Each structure stands twice: as C-alpha cells, then as structure tokens.
Chains A and B, each alone.
Chain A
Amino acid sequence: MNQGLAVEATGVSKTFGSVRAVDDITIRVAEGEVYGVLGPNGAGKTTFLRMLFGLIRPDAGTIRILGRTWDESGVAVLDEVAGFIESPRFYPYLTGRQNLEGLALLDGGHPPGLLEEVLEVVEMDDRADERVGGYSYGMRQRLGVAASLLRTPRLLVLDEPANGLDPAGIRDMRSLVKRLADSGLTVLLSSHDMDEVEEICDNVTIMKRGTVAFHGTIAHLRTMAPQPGHVLATTDDVRALELAHQHPALRVARDPEAALVVTGARPAVSAYVATLVRADIDLLAFNQTQTPLEALFFMLTDDTAHQTLARPVEPTTVPR
C-alpha cells in the first residue's frame, strides 16, 4: 500500500496583506493513510488546503501531489484528487443531478452508471432531481461528497467535512470517511475537533496561527497527553492565572470561552484549588470536561501557553 507520498508540501507560505496565513508548513501524507490537519479557526488549515487545490497560489514552497506539481503539470495535478473546501457550493437553479452531470463534463466524462452509484452511496438518489437551492446544509454536504466520488479519486481532501451537521449527520459522515479510507483511499481532512481526528486519523499535524505546532501519530499524541483537563470558572480569573505560577507542576491557561483550563496531576489540581480558596477567589464551576487529547490540543494551540511541543516528526504509515 505504501507506494509513496500522496501529498508532499515543503516550506509552504502564504501572506495576505500583513497576515501570515501559512508560515513555512511542511506536511507529508503517505498513500493509503488518513491524515488530519487540526487547528483552531484561523490557524491556516483552509488556506493550506486551498493551495493544494490550486485555488490559492503559495508565496513560497512546493506542493507535490501524487508526484506532480502545479508548475509542471497544471490542472493535471488534480487527476485522481477530489474533495471540497468549506461548505460545498453548487448552482442553486439546477438540480443535484444536473450539477453533478455538469461537473462530470468538466472532468471529461464519467463511466456509465457511476453517477447513480455515488448518489446512492451518499443517499441522495431520491432527492437528486430537486433544485439545489432547496437543499439543506447536510444535503449539500452529501452532494459534495458525491461530486468528489464521481472523480474516482486516489486522494480525498476534505475541509471540515462534519462542520455544521447535526449529530446524526456527523456520525454518518465519520463512518463514511472511515469506509472510504478502509477501501484504500488516502484521506486528508482538516478539523477543529480533536475527538473527530482521534477517531479516524492515523497521523496528524496541529497548526497554530499558520505554523506547525505538532506533527505525529495519534498514538504519539496520546503519550504526550497530560492528565485529564479540568475546567474552572472563578470570580477572578486574572489573579487565578497569576497564582498558577506558584504551581509549576500544573499548566493553567485561559480558553476562548473565558474559562480556566487546568491540566496536571489530580493532587496538584487540588492544591491549586486550595490556593485559590485561600486567596478569597470563589469557584463558580469545576468540571472535568476535557479529554486528555482535547486538553493537549488546547495547550498546543493556545496563545497564552508557555510551551509548544513543535517537534516535526516524520509520519509513519500505520498498516491497515
């Protein structure tokens, strides 16, 4: 199965105005694996994927997909590559089927019967003759997967495929991706949900503000994960953060929802709580809600964290 690299991006950078959206990213995805690109919103994941698809031109670096680069081969780079960026968009005044037929024209045709088959796989065969303008979000997402499968790709690139779906839709999307991966496709997907990535990916790159915060296997990530995280809400988060310096065994950071995330051994956490109480800071909430990996993810991508764990590691293929 390991015939080489499906995606080889080296030193890729892109700047928009004064913002470095992608800063010297190197990612290698082997054939046959499921690779996750993880990061909070604004980390540069979508920009990177757009560069894979040729929608955005990188300022620096090379991108080699299934052995070909854009400069050498032009749009032939996308032979056997399919996927979608953010929410898939179609022509609202045409039906789902007409949209797919049009995209097949742009592909140079499709084998007979394939169109019906992909519609069945995503369970859109009964709604395919309605106008896309009337589709729900989930239906459009499924049509996007169908449009990708129509190209019979070797590499599937999906940008936040479960984004915006309801829990049933999320579950279905994840199982579909798993089945596609099991059948031999290389899948590169991006997400901001650690749990999703943990469930289906073999290797992962975690991005933070355009740079790589971590490369490695999920297994490796698990070994790095600290104790389960605790979420605290206090009456004085600022002072609580200062007091955290007295507890070097703990990592305390503030997450975007203005709660304190504490990771560390249970006794150390209890000691920290005691310190807060002595300092007359009231605890409004104290929950263990983060999985170890979620906590790790948050640590890696948070701005106030003091340490990053950025050790680019050569991805190894997990035999399936």
Chain B
Amino acid sequence: MSATTNAPVATAGTTPGARTRPGLVAPLRWEIRKLRAQLRAKAVLIGALVLPVVVVVVIHGQSRPPKDTLFGRFATVNGFALALLILGFAAQWVLPLLTAVVAGDIFAGEDQHGTWKTVLTRSTSRARLFWAKTLTAAGFAAIVLAVLAASTIASSVLIVGHEPLTGLSGQTIPAAEALRLVAVSWATMLPPMLGFTCLAILLSVWSRNPAVGIAGPVVIGMVMQLVGALGGVEAVRPFLLSTPFEAWHGLLADPRFTGPLLDGLLTSAVWCALSLTAAFTLLRRRDITGG
C-alpha cells in the first residue's frame, strides 16, 4: 500500500447518519445476482428445459406404455396424457429437489462460505435478509416449475400428438380443453412446491449444511409419499405435504371437483407458515461465532 495516497474518509462530504438504509429491493437484487452467478441455478434451469424433451422421446419410443401410473396407459399415443404422466412422476421427488437445490443452500451457503459475519455487518437487518432470501428461493421455484411445465407440455404435444384425451371419469376431452386442463394441472403444483421451499429453508437455517438442506426435503417428501399410500393411516393424509401434489386429479374428472385443491392450498400454507416462523426465529436468535 502506497504511503502517498490518502484514505477516503467520512469527514468531508457525507453528513453523519445520512445513510439511506436499503428496503427489501436491494437485498433482493443482491440475492438474485448471487444466484445468477452460481453454476448450480443455471444448470437446474437448463436441465428443466432439456430433460423433459429427452424423457418424452424415450417414452414415446416405448412399445409398452407405463400402465401403473395414471395416464400412462395413453402416454405413448397422446401428448396430453404424456404431459400428465410426467407430472405425476415429477411430483414424487423431482419437484422437491428442484426447489431444494436453491432453497436448501441459500442460507446454509453463507455458513459454508463463512459470510454471515460479512453480510450481517452492513446496513441490512437479519429480518430483511431473511425475506430477501426467502423471496428469491420462492421466485426460483416458480420459474423452474414454469420452465419444466412449458418444456414438458410443448414437447409432449408436439412429439406425441394432440388427440382428444380420455379423462379420469372416462369422458372424452377435446384437444383445446385438454391443453388448458394440462396447463392448469401443472400450475397446481406450485403451492406444495413452495411448501417444500419453506421446508428446505428451515432445514438450511437449522442445519447450516447445504447437503442437509438439499437432500432433506427430498427424503422427507418421499417418506411422506410412502406413508400417504399406506392403508390404515389415511387419516394423516391431509397433513402431508405430498398429498396436494395429486389434487389436480379433480380437474380431469367429470364432474370436476376442487376440494382437494383447496385443502392442498391450506396444507401448503400451514407448512410454509410453520417452517418460516421456525427458521426466522432460529436465524434471529443465532450467535454468529463462526466464519
């Protein structure tokens, strides 16, 4: 360091205490910028765009359709059915994983890099930082779902075809209506997916370990699915976060029923509220001794 340059100091120019404290937008912009610089987020988005095309081509080429999953029976000949088949499969572990990759790391990553002491000693409070990270994770979940849905529906319909679809009450659904229902069905994945976002955030804050934040929600999701499929303990189904992933069935039935969709919205909201409250409290009260 040269001895001739002078340090820029506050005495001249800035008035004391004149710092404009940032709102929520600035920390949000920062989190988004960090996310964009990370290979992980870009890789996930590219995967969500490209992999469905591969899956569609592979399934289209199969001689025996996968009959054990809903709509699998028609998946090799009907693009709408294939899009719904992939939807059912994605809900098992793919969707929780896609959101956990970002949400499970966005807090624990600071522990990993030791940067809590760096970001918490600026002018942004812990609360604002928490919300900026949460909103970023939620936004990413919505975007990756949209990309996955668009890619799946487009490639299914274009590659396999757009014949009328046989619904879940045996009814024949014309192509235009089928397309609309398929798109809406994919959209109903958002609330439970955000539920997993909140769960991943809780695990990320509590464990301070990105691996737990990413793998935890996936494992928990699969366990919940298994439990939900058991006979005898069905009373717990309304409380499981995996149940809302199947609420779209009602849209494909005739007459349409939406009870499960509303229940699913409530379940996801409660999971989010509880997870985020716990995570916020943990972060607020934590003593940052590392880094």
Give the CA-CA distance A85 to B291 in the complex, in Å: 9
* Interface pair A117/B8, CB less than 8 Å apart: yes
- Residue among B27, B29, B124 with the highest chain A CB neighbour number at 10 A: B124
* Interface pair A107/B17, CB less than 8 Å apart: no
- Residue among A54, A83, A108, A142 with the highest chain B CB neighbour number at 10 A: A108
Shortest Cβ distance from A181 into B: residue: B7
Shortest Cβ distance from B17 into A: residue: A79
* Interface pair B9/A107, CB less than 8 Å apart: no
Contact among B9, B38, B113, B289 with A56 in the assembled complex (CB-CB below 8 Å): B289
Give the CA-CA distance A23 to B8 in the complex, in Å: 37
With A55-B117, A93-B37 in contact, do A121 and B291 touch (Cβ < 8 Å)? no
* Interface pair A89/B22, CB less than 8 Å apart: no
List CB contacts (< 8 Å) of A32-68 with chain B: 47, 50, 53-57
- B-chain residues with CB within 8 Å of residue A56 when the two chains form the complex: 287-289
Q: What is the number of residues of chain A that contact chain B, defined by CB distance less than 8 Å?
A: 58
- A-chain residues with CB within 8 Å of residue B262 when the two chains form the complex: none
Interface segment, A145-153, A229-237, A283-291, A296-304? Answer: A145-153
Give the CA-CA distance A110 to B265 in the complex, in Å: 43
Chain B, interface residues (CB within 8 Å), range:
35 or more
Interface segment, A97-105, A211-219, A272-280, A308-316? Answer: A97-105
- A-chain residues with CB within 8 Å of residue B113 when the two chains form the complex: 89-92
| B116 CB to nearest A CB, Å | 8
List CB contacts (< 8 Å) of B1-53 with chain A: 1-3, 5-11, 13-14, 16-17, 19-22, 26-27, 29-30, 33-34, 37-39
* Interface pair A149/B7, CB less than 8 Å apart: yes
* Interface pair A123/B1, CB less than 8 Å apart: yes
* Interface pair B7/A84, CB less than 8 Å apart: no
| B127 CB to nearest A CB, Å | 9
| A164 CB to nearest B CB, Å | 15
* Interface pair A103/B122, CB less than 8 Å apart: yes
Give the CA-CA distance A12 to B6 in the complex, in Å: 36
A109 at the interface (CB under 8 A from B): yes
* Interface pair A91/B34, CB less than 8 Å apart: yes
Interface segment, A70-78, A197-205, A238-246, A259-267? Answer: A70-78
B120 at the interface (CB under 8 A from A): yes
B121 at the interface (CB under 8 A from A): yes
Give the CA-CA distance A84 to B14 in the complex, in Å: 22
* Interface pair A154/B27, CB less than 8 Å apart: no
A281 at the interface (CB under 8 A from B): no
A307 at the interface (CB under 8 A from B): no
Give the CA-CA distance A89 to B113 in the complex, in Å: 7
Contact among B1, B11, B285 with A122 in the assembled complex (CB-CB below 8 Å): B1
Give the CA-CA distance A109 to B26 in the complex, in Å: 9
Contact among B11, B119, B121, B288 with A184 in the assembled complex (CB-CB below 8 Å): B11
A258 at the interface (CB under 8 A from B): no
- A-chain residues with CB within 8 Å of residue B10 when the two chains form the complex: 80, 152-154, 184-185
- A-chain residues with CB within 8 Å of residue B3 when the two chains form the complex: 175, 179
A255 at the interface (CB under 8 A from B): no
* Interface pair B1/A183, CB less than 8 Å apart: no
With A79-B19, A85-B117, A175-B3 in contact, do A183 and B11 touch (Cβ < 8 Å)? yes
Shortest Cβ distance from A82 into B: residue: B121
Contact among A55, A172, A183 with B9 in the assembled complex (CB-CB below 8 Å): A183
* Interface pair B1/A105, CB less than 8 Å apart: no
Give the CA-CA distance A154 to B16 in the complex, in Å: 8
| A160 CB to nearest B CB, Å | 14
B118 at the interface (CB under 8 A from A): yes
| B109 CB to nearest A CB, Å | 9
A-B contacts besides A102-B33, A183-B6, 7 pairs, CB < 8 Å: A50-B117, A50-B289, A76-B123, A89-B118, A108-B19, A114-B8, A154-B10
A-B contact pairs, 18 of them (CB 8 A): A50-B117, A54-B121, A75-B123, A75-B125, A85-B117, A89-B114, A90-B118, A106-B22, A106-B27, A106-B119, A108-B123, A109-B22, A121-B5, A122-B1, A123-B1, A151-B122, A175-B1, A179-B6
Q: Which 3 A-B pairs have the closest CB atoms?
A: A55-B288, A106-B122, A89-B114
User: What is B's interface to A at a CB cutoff of 8 Å?
Assistant: 1-3, 5-11, 13-14, 16-17, 19-22, 26-27, 29-30, 33-34, 37-39, 113-126, 129, 285, 287-289, 291
